[in-house]
Amino acid sequence: MSRGSNPGTTPIRTVTTVVIGAGHAGLAMSRCLADRAIDHVVLERGEVAHTWRTERWDSLRLLTPNWQSRLPGFRYNGGDPDGYRTMPEVIAFIEDYAKAISAPVQTHTTVTSVCSTEAGYLVRTDRGDWQCRAVVLASGACNIARVPAFANLLPPSIATLTAQQYRNPGQLADGGVLVVGASASGTQIAYEIHRSGRPVTLSVGEHIRAPRVYRGRDLEWWMDAAGVLDERYDQVDDIARARRVPSLQLAGTPDRSTLDLNALSKIGVKLAGRLAAIAGDGKAQFAGSLRNMCALSDLKMGRLLDLIDAWARTSGLDDTAEPPHRLPPTRVEDAPPLGMDLATGEIKTIVWAAGYRPDYSWLELPVLDRKGMVRHDGGVVASPGLYLMGTQFLRRRKSALIDGAGDDARELSAHLASYLDSRAARIVA
């Protein structure tokens, strides 16, 4: 890194590559850049692992087992490989990684814009600017919780919070709660709130049901071993669709239980269809597709388990693993609610758990699609020297998982290195 001059203002520092974000993805890239002796800095608006510190609820545990957080040059070596990390453990794990690889992280530095220059890119921050030849966007895939536009029609008596703002049931008023979204976040939050004594209705959109343990092993073990998580972005028929698939309905509980809609209905959580609209009079309208959504989810789970069974047969594991089994179909009541009067005072709180999206509002480059997502080919962005990390199915099905960052960082750092070499060759010629 060196300091250049920018007359009249703070000096602009120069570095070959700026990595934006010190989550596990940015750190994995940092390690791979260091392996290639590529000079870089990692800019982080908070502390290392900032989002795990500030945007997760208290009781959350990873849904991936401890062994499944392999990062370049780093892995779990404790005594509970099949356990699921608590949030303090995730933070410690990522912090330890940053220390182990001596990542050049500059904390409390928010990137406010990235634009192109003749020399490459100018990265502006609230603590000075950086000139560089390459930029890696590792600022996270879950910066903003998805909240439907009609949320502003809610009666003012209803408190709302997103899964990022939710910490524990003690935050909520007594009374009914509507949780919107039934993937990993929504089901776990609905379970916890219901157990606190508040009646919960869960609005169910597209989701993917999954048993925690299958044939005696963690489902993630099967998906890893069978290569499901390694499926590449250029091997799937519809990558745009694959990138929108919600997270598996899994929870990392110490008793390794399956937290699906049947488990929630059994304890008294009421299921409704996808929240389709809120009318001006405060009436919530649920789609009539709950039964179809659940049938589709059961079907997808069945396909995944069929694939695992087929792999177990060809891999000689059929005899040693427990026999194949299937969960009973998701139970849906005969006439699930199609509406709910939110003005009666019965529902006191709504928790939005309908997914997340990244925030690239600071990216001043013509690389965003109309939904604000970066257009890229396996993490290689159309603007030369610009790379993306950590988003859903970036290069592989596992790309957004901690375990997925390693392979992506290795391949993208190789691409970045050859880009720098070809650029240097052009300048010399």
Ligand X SMILES: Cc1cc2nc3c(=O)[nH]c(=O)nc-3n(C[C@H](O)[C@H](O)[C@H](O)COP(=O)(O)OP(=O)(O)OC[C@H]3O[C@@H](n4cnc5c(N)ncnc54)[C@H](O)[C@@H]3O)c2cc1C
Interstrand relation of 200-203 and 111-117 (parallel, antiparallel or unpaired): unpaired
Binding flag, residue 63, ligand X (CB under 6 A): yes
Nearer to ligand X, 141 or 305 (CB): 141
Sheet containing 2-3: give its strands across.
2-3, 13-14, 128-132, 120-125, 111-117
Nearest approach, Cβ of 87 to ligand X (angstroms)? 10
Q: Rounded to whole angstroms, how far apart are CA atoms 423 and 65?
A: 42
Query: Which span (62-70, 116-124, 237-245, 302-310) binds ligand X, by CB under 6 A?
Result: 62-70
Q: How many CA atoms lie within 13 A of 233 on its CB side?
A: 22
Task: List the x/- string, 305-344, binding to ligand X by CB under 6 A.
Answer: ----------------------------------------
Among 180, 272, 400, 409, binds ligand X (CB under 6 A): 400
Cα separation, 107 vs 122, in Å, equals 19
CA angle 124, 376, 19 (to 5 degrees): 35
* Residue 106: burial class (beta carbons within 10 Å; 0-12, 13-18, 19+): middle
Q: Is residue 167 near ligand X by the rule CB under 6 A?
A: no
Contact 209, 304 (CB under 8 A): no
Residue 248 touching ligand X (CB under 6 A): no
Question: Which CB sits closer to ligand X, 138 or 308?
Answer: 138
- Contact between 43 and ligand X by CB under 6 A: the answer reads yes
**Greatest extent of the chain over all pairs of C-alpha atoms, in Å:** 75
Asked whether position 50 contacts ligand X by CB under 6 A, the answer is yes
Total number of residues that touch ligand X (CB under 6 A) = 32
Minimum CB distance to ligand X smaller for 45 or for 283: 45
Is 26 a residue that touches ligand X (CB under 6 A)?
yes
Separation of alpha carbons 387 and 414, rounded Å = 11
CA dist., res. 211 & res. 218, Å (int): 8
141 binds ligand X (CB under 6 A): yes
Distance CA 203, CA 290 (A): 9
The residue from 140, 273, 355, 379 that contacts ligand X (CB under 6 A) is: 140
CA distance 361 to 372: 8
132 sits near ligand X (criterion: CB under 6 A): no
Residue 56 beta carbon to ligand X: minimum distance, rounded to whole angstroms = 6
Q: Give the span between the Cα atoms of 428 and 167, in whole angstroms.
A: 55
Q: Which of 16, 139, 383, 413 binds ligand X (CB under 6 A)?
A: 139
Q: Shortest Cβ distance from residue 368 to ligand X (Å)?
A: 15
Q: Which residues contact 316 (CB under 8 A, 6 or more apart)?
A: none
* By the rule CB under 6 A, 110 interacts with ligand X: yes
Closest CB 318 distance from ligand X, rounded Å = 29
Q: Which of 229, 381, 402, 420 is the binder for ligand X (CB under 6 A)?
A: 402
Residue number, 91 or 226, with CB nearest to ligand X: 91
Is 274 an interacting residue with respect to ligand X (CB under 6 A)?
no
Q: Give the footprint of ligand X on this chain (CB under 6 A).
A: 20-26, 43-46, 50-51, 56, 62-64, 110-111, 138-142, 185, 356, 362, 390, 400-403
